[in-house]
Structure 1
Amino acid sequence: MKIWDYFATNILTQPAYMIGFIVLLGYILEKKPIYESIAGFMKAVIGYMILMVGSGGLVNSFRPILTGLKTRFHLTATVIDPYFGQNAVTDGVVKTFGRTFGDVMLLLLFAFVFNIILVRFQKFTKLRSVFTTGNVQVQQAATAFWLLLFCFPKMGRMEVLLVMGVILGLYWAVGSNMTIRYTQDLTDGGGFAVAHQQMFGIALVSWLADKIKKHDEKTQKKAKRLEDIELPGFLKIFNENMVATGILMLFFFGIIMLVLGRPYFNEIYVTSKGASGLAPGGSFLFYILTTSLGFAVNLAILQLGVRTFVGELTESFSGISDKLLPGSVPGIDVAATFAFGEPNAVTIGFLFGALGQFLTIGALIVLHSPTIIIAGFIPLFFDNAAFGVYANKRAGAKAAMILPFISGVIQVLGAAFIASWVGLAKFGGYLGMFDWDTLWPVFTAIMKYLGIAGIIIVIIILVVIPQLEYRKDPKNYFLMVTDYDKYKESVSKK
């Protein structure tokens, strides 16, 4: 247990070092010189740290703005955000179920080991992806722990860990596996899958985008991707990604910040001891300008980080896939996809997802919903921006607008339902990402009302999904991972 605690604390739940560890292991297995292996480790860790600087900058800058709406309008509301969700479980699990949060780390261990076993026996399971995003694993293990206890409050400690270890391990393996085909297409054989909170969402959005594309082809409409749209006159400034992002974020966040008012940001300055917020004598106009344009800065930093570590990870992982886990790919943070495809798709996906969320939150307030949702920045951005990127790649600008908008509506309605039902709303937070607003409420209902039979049904559903994927194209299923160029050639012939 001491060895596991050390590994989990310092490597597994620290994505930069987890990625670095994988790169180091891969190069050692490839028998690269030790200096090359260490250099690869350093480059991967530094690249991921750059990504985390960009990602953290986005979250830390804009989370207080969105949660400020709760304070400004005195709402008793649930914030949909992975960290608020984790804190809600931490606060409530002892009071509600008399369990300790320490079991969450054991659940993570069981699920992670089971994920590796599933990939090792891919000949039978048809699963090809190892979930390596440790911070996300902690958040999901916490919420899954609560959901299973809600369904089976009297279940023993080891039974809870074993049952949810199997279900969560399957979800990690199956979900990340479902993103492989679409991510390989997006990145032109980047050699990784997405291991995050919207894996089923990416598969669903990509599938729907393909349907939209087929419909456009039948009606002889040519779907224009965002990168193909040339704007006329002064609108040409929006063809430049950084300029477009800066202007759109200034408009979007500028309005919210004006609504919150100067005193709110002065108060943040005081409570944070000058670390953030607006100093009493500072210019509110330039504070809004700096904060909004910071979105484009942090997005550029995030994309630089991705470019730094993804190539290293892809090259080194062949050592692991050759020696330990044949035919596998690493599942990594969804932010890695933002460096591929059209950069403006990230901004468009975010904005249309935000529009869907805010309209739905307004409807909840008007209809006096017992649970009011506050938009968290992480679901708002990381789900919907990714959906915009994938949708634009497969079906163009229309899909990049419509599908994130629908996602925003679903996120709010799904989170309001599940957070109220399972009792997390009263602790102020819920994970709130797409899969946990759609797939997991369904799983929870099946287990709650069907008992042990429900657990078996959920496991069967997850086991069957990769088998169905494999049967659709058995010739190319593993080829898309082992040799993407041959896969493309095979698909073009087909």
Structure 2
Amino acid sequence: MEILNTIFTFISNNILTKAELFVGLIVLVGYILLGKKWYETLAGFIKAVVGYMILTVGSNGLITTFRPILSGLNQKFNLNAVVIDPYFGLNAVNAALENIGLSAAWTMTSLLLAFIWNIILLIFRKYTKLRTLLLTGHIMVQQATTVTWIVFLFIPQLRNIWGAVAVGILVGTYQAVFSNLTVEPTDRLTDGEGGFAIGHQQMFAIWLADKLAPKLGKKEDSIENLKLPGFLQMFSDNVVSTSVLMFVFFGIIMVVLGEDFMRGIDDTFTATTAFPFYIFSKALSFTVYLNVLQAGVRMFVAELTESFKGISDKLLPGAIPAVDCAVSYGFAPANAVTVGFFCGAIGQFLAIAGLLVFHSPVMIIAGFVPLFFDNASIAVYANHRGGVKAAVILSFCSGIIQVLGGALCAALLQLVAFGGWHGNFDFSTIFLAVSYVVKYLKVPGVIICVIAMLIIPQIQYRRSDKEKYFTVGQEEE
């Protein structure tokens, strides 16, 4: 058992949790199976790894630059609130596990078992009707860690290897089933050219947005078709609109926090820099990191979708890679991302105000990752199916759901004292329900949740065009 744990730990630490190497390895194997020349295979591997690293630079830049500004509200006004952000949630869960005398190493075992279970579900796709393999390493870590706490909290007798198995099956089923729901929406978004699905934290939200958007607006009224009058035409340019909007949005927050406070939390705010210029620079860095992220996406997705045909043909017939939600941004009007972020933020802040007004026992602070990645993704898919109206309404509603669902989850899972909760849309909805089921039904509850999720692709298959079901999302030759 100790040898197996050592192997699990090595694979988890060096491959599964290193998203760029994980994706690069998938590309490498895919090109080998396609019979590519060795130098073409090596070139594809390098471009995939570098592309993902560029994406990570953009993503981490957004997170590390703007998360402290939002969490600073908590610190400045002594709100003693929960930050809804998967990284804050990760720290909170790890602290909670340590508080009950358990090591976070259990989560790495659960992570590997979840990935293996995802593969098994694909091998038996004839029966499971599942088509997607989730490859987003850092997301896998966050989900395995959060669900480990849910199971270990409510079922103390499973605080062992059997608990890790239960978590692995629960998480692996969620990843396979809900990434599978994004296949058709992503195929529509990319006009059949993407060759990927989404494997992130808002897969249910993407499916929901794809279904609801046509009922809320018209596809023809897409953000890219908006005709702005006069000087407002400059906002048709994504760089300009994003920069101006972020200057106003984060500028207001930074002014509220104050110059002295910002100097205390940001080492890059030098003594020689005036506060207005600091705010302006920070706002523009949002645009910079967003464009860096999109550049990385274009590079690694091109290699992944081409190489994955080798895996799909030889190892896991018909499998579709489920990757970071940011890959979808390259297939949408650039301003859709900004609209999603802004409208989601309004929804979150309105919901937080509601918590204050009604004296909620749990206060919430907006976390950047759900605020940006969830709502931007929802807007991208909603805009494609229902235009700007759908993008605005659905990302706004998502912001409200993230806050209210996050407050319920933080209280239910006893994480208020540790200051963080996962926060993303699916964890404020799907896993809120899972938490209640597991709390009251224990082990049978875990089994019921897995079975309930496995029924979803059966319904999906029956309502689909069965002749095309297993070919949708496959990149054309």
Give the TM-score range, shorter chain.
over 0.9
1:131-180 CA-partner distances (Å, limit 9, x unpaired): 11111111111110111122212225122112221111100100111111
Indicate the residue corresponding to 2:265 in structure 1. 268
Mapped to 2, the partners of 1:481 and 1:195 lie a distance apart of 14
Q: Are 2:98 and 1:87 aligned?
A: no
Mapped to 1, the partners of 2:346 and 2:164 lie a distance apart of 39
1:302-354 CA-partner distances (Å, limit 9, x unpaired): 11111111111110000000000000111111111111111100000000000
Q: Are 2:473 and 1:476 aligned?
A: no
Q: Conserved in 1, the CA contact under 8 Å of 2:152 and 2:159?
A: no
Indicate the residue corresponding to 1:191 in structure 2. 195
The letter of the residue matching 1:437 is S
1:201-220 CA-partner distances (Å, limit 9, x unpaired): 1111111113324xx6xxxx
- CA displacement at 1:3 relative to structure 2: 3.4
2:248 to 248, 251, 256: 251
Indicate the residue corresponding to 2:337 in structure 1. 346
Q: Are 2:54 and 1:50 aligned?
A: yes
The letter of the residue matching 2:69 is I
Mapped to 1, the partners of 2:476 and 2:339 lie a distance apart of 29
1:459 to 434, 440, 450: 450
Q: Are 2:19 and 1:15 aligned?
A: yes
Q: Are 2:77 and 1:76 aligned?
A: no
- CA displacement at 1:223 relative to structure 2: 4.9
Q: Are 2:129 and 1:132 aligned?
A: no
- CA displacement at 1:484 relative to structure 2: 5.5
Mapped to 2, the partners of 1:458 and 1:18 lie a distance apart of 29
The letter of the residue matching 2:261 is Y
What runs of 5+ residues in structure 2 fail to find an aligned partner?
none
Q: Conserved in 1, the CA contact under 8 Å of 2:155 and 2:443?
A: no
Mapped to 1, the partners of 2:164 and 2:351 lie a distance apart of 36
- CA displacement at 1:450 relative to structure 2: 2.4
Q: Are 2:417 and 1:426 aligned?
A: yes
Indicate the residue corresponding to 2:309 in structure 1. 318
Indicate the residue corresponding to 1:440 in structure 2. 431
What runs of 5+ residues in structure 1 fail to find an aligned partner?
217-221, 486-494
Q: Are 2:95 and 1:98 aligned?
A: no
Which deviates more from structure 2 when the two are superposed, residues 381-390 or residues 7-16?
7-16
Q: Are 2:377 and 1:386 aligned?
A: yes
- CA displacement at 1:457 relative to structure 2: 1.8
2:175 to 165, 172, 177: 172
Indicate the residue corresponding to 2:232 in structure 1. 235
Indicate the residue corresponding to 1:366 in structure 2. 357
Q: Are 2:147 and 1:150 aligned?
A: no
Mapped to 2, the partners of 1:464 and 1:209 lie a distance apart of 25
Mapped to 2, the partners of 1:266 and 1:226 lie a distance apart of 38
Indicate the residue corresponding to 1:492 in structure 2. none
Q: TM-score normalised to the size of structure 2?
A: 0.96
RMSD: 1.4
- CA displacement at 1:470 relative to structure 2: 0.7
Indicate the residue corresponding to 1:226 in structure 2. 223
- CA displacement at 1:121 relative to structure 2: 1.2
The letter of the residue matching 1:340 is F
Q: Percent identity?
A: 50
Q: Secondary structure at the match of 1:130?
A: strand
Q: Conserved in 2, the CA contact under 8 Å of 1:327 and 1:481?
A: no
- CA displacement at 1:285 relative to structure 2: 0.7
Which deviates more from structure 2 when the two are superposed, residues 360-369 or residues 435-444?
360-369
Decide whether aligned partners of structure 1 residues 480 and 282 sit closer, same or farther in structure 2, where only a CA change above 3 A counts.
Answer: same
Q: Conserved in 1, the CA contact under 8 Å of 2:364 and 2:407?
A: yes
1:258-303 CA-partner distances (Å, limit 9, x unpaired): 111100121124xxxx4x3x12231111100000011111111111
Mapped to 1, the partners of 2:167 and 2:104 lie a distance apart of 15
1:212-233 CA-partner distances (Å, limit 9, x unpaired): 24xx6xxxxx851111111010
Mapped to 1, the partners of 2:272 and 2:417 lie a distance apart of 38
Q: Conserved in 2, the CA contact under 8 Å of 1:18 and 1:134?
A: yes
Q: Secondary structure at the match of 1:25?
A: helix
Q: Conserved in 2, the CA contact under 8 Å of 1:118 and 1:125?
A: yes
Mapped to 2, the partners of 1:61 and 1:367 lie a distance apart of 32
Mapped to 1, the partners of 2:286 and 2:57 lie a distance apart of 12
Q: Secondary structure at the match of 2:338?
A: helix
1:108 to 88, 100, 111: 111
Decide whether aligned partners of structure 1 residues 162 and 284 sit closer, same or farther in structure 2, where only a CA change above 3 A counts.
Answer: same
Mapped to 2, the partners of 1:159 and 1:458 lie a distance apart of 17
Mapped to 1, the partners of 2:340 and 2:475 lie a distance apart of 31
2:286 to 279, 285, 295: 295
- CA displacement at 1:397 relative to structure 2: 0.4
The letter of the residue matching 1:394 is R
1:207 to 208, 211, 214: 211
Decide whether aligned partners of structure 1 residues 483 and 53 sit closer, same or farther in structure 2, where only a CA change above 3 A counts.
Answer: closer
1:365-424 CA-partner distances (Å, limit 9, x unpaired): 122111111101000000000001000011100001000000000000000001111101
The letter of the residue matching 1:159 is W
Q: Are 2:399 and 1:408 aligned?
A: yes
Mapped to 2, the partners of 1:197 and 1:240 lie a distance apart of 29
The letter of the residue matching 2:310 is G
Q: Conserved in 2, the CA contact under 8 Å of 1:446 and 1:454?
A: yes
Q: Secondary structure at the match of 1:480?
A: coil
Q: Conserved in 2, the CA contact under 8 Å of 1:356 and 1:407?
A: yes
- CA displacement at 1:185 relative to structure 2: 1.2
Q: Secondary structure at the match of 1:79?
A: strand
